[in-house]
Amino acid sequence: MPIAPELRRKVEQLLKEGLTDLAVYRQTGVSRRTAARYRKALGLPGTFTRADDPACRRAGHPFPENLGRNGKGHLTCMACRRIRHRNAARAAYVPVEPDEMSIERAVDGDPPDYFTPRERHAAIDRLDKRGLSAAEISMLLRCSKRTVHYARRKRRVSA
Ligand SMILES: [Zn+2]
* Per-residue model confidence as pLDDT tens digits over 97-120: 888 998 999 999 888 888 888 899
80 C-alpha to ligand 1 centroid (Å):
4
Ion ligand 1: residues, CB < 5 A? 56, 58-59, 61, 77, 79-80
Write down the domain spans for the chain.
Answer: 1-46, 48-93, 100-158
| pTM of the predicted model as reported, rounded to 2 decimal places | 0.44
Long-range contacts of range 151-158, CB-CB < 8 Å, 24 or more positions apart?
A: 151/120, 151/121, 151/124, 151/125, 152/124, 152/128, 154/121, 155/121, 155/125
Question: Predicted confidence band at 13 (pLDDT cuts at 50, 70, 90)?
Answer: very high
CB neighbour list of residue 140: distance below 8 Å, 6 or more residues apart: 106, 107, 109, 111, 127, 132
82 C-alpha to ligand 1 centroid (Å):
9
